[in-house]
Amino acid sequence: MTPKDTRETILIAAQATVQAKGYNALSFRELAKEVGVKSASIHYYFPTKGDLGAELARRYADNAVDYFEKLIAGDGSIDEIFARYVAVFRAALENDNRMCLYGVMAAEYGDLPQAVRGAVDAFSAANVDWLARLLAPRHPELDDASLRARALAIFGAIEGAQLVARGRGDIQVFDQMIEAYGAAGLTPRSPPR
């Protein structure tokens, strides 16, 4: 395995661990066993747990931003674009009832090193920014602060739906909550024709 492959394998395994068990459960020793390397090898790539956590959160945010940009640049109605956005959060639940990396790390925010907190905050900001951009054409009457407040509420609602569905071990709860948010006008939907 090349150094780049080893680093990538470590990141993939670490992300799966955090999404399933939380940041505090992340152990270099256990991660090394899972990846099939010595603990020292993990320290070579990530000197501290904080370095690994920050890289996980940065990478997660970067991948999300790339995907969001493709969504907003692509074809489709606001309903279709928003459905693809929500599908990302649903996919984590479909993957062994995992949480969004942000949601897990945000729940442990007080225990996170500052560098990890900054990267976690960047993910939240990226979601709010993107949602505000998605909402802007639909709500020209809203100023930037109002758009961002609505975007934050939508992001919080989706993260909350994921958390409740995970806690119940029932992905249908996520779907029901997202549908209820839309029916109540809390998420973007095309106006009836």
Mean pLDDT of 66-76: 91
Q: Output the pLDDT for position 190.
A: 52
pLDDT tens digits along 127-156? 999 999 999 998 999 999 999 999 999 999
Residue 49 pLDDT greater than 90, yes or no: yes
Topology classification of domain 3-183 = Tetracycline Repressor; domain 2 (1.10.357)
Residue 50 pLDDT greater than 50, yes or no: yes
Tracing tokens 């900001």 back to the chain, one arrives at 125
Q: Output the pLDDT for position 192.
A: 46
Mean pLDDT for the chain overall: 92
Task: Write the DSSP symbol of residue 109.
Answer: G
Residue 1 pLDDT greater than 80, yes or no: no
Percent of the chain residues topping a pLDDT of 90: 81
Q: Output the pLDDT for position 191.
A: 47
Residue 166 pLDDT greater than 90, yes or no: yes
Instruction: Give the residue extent of every domain in the chain.
Output: 3-183
Q: Output the pLDDT for position 103.
A: 92
State the Cα–Cα distance between residues 147 and 166, nearest whole angstrom.
Answer: 29
pTM score of the predicted model: 0.89
The more confident residue out of 97 and 191 is 97
pLDDT tens digits along 83-123? 999 999 999 999 988 899 999 999 999 999 999 999 999 99
Residue 16 — pLDDT band, cuts 50, 70, 90? very high
Spell out a b/e string for 38-64, using b for 16 or more CB atoms within 10 Å of the CB, else e: eeebbeebbeebbebbbbbbbebbeeb
129 within 8 A of 64, measured Cβ to Cβ: no
Q: Output the pLDDT for position 11.
A: 96
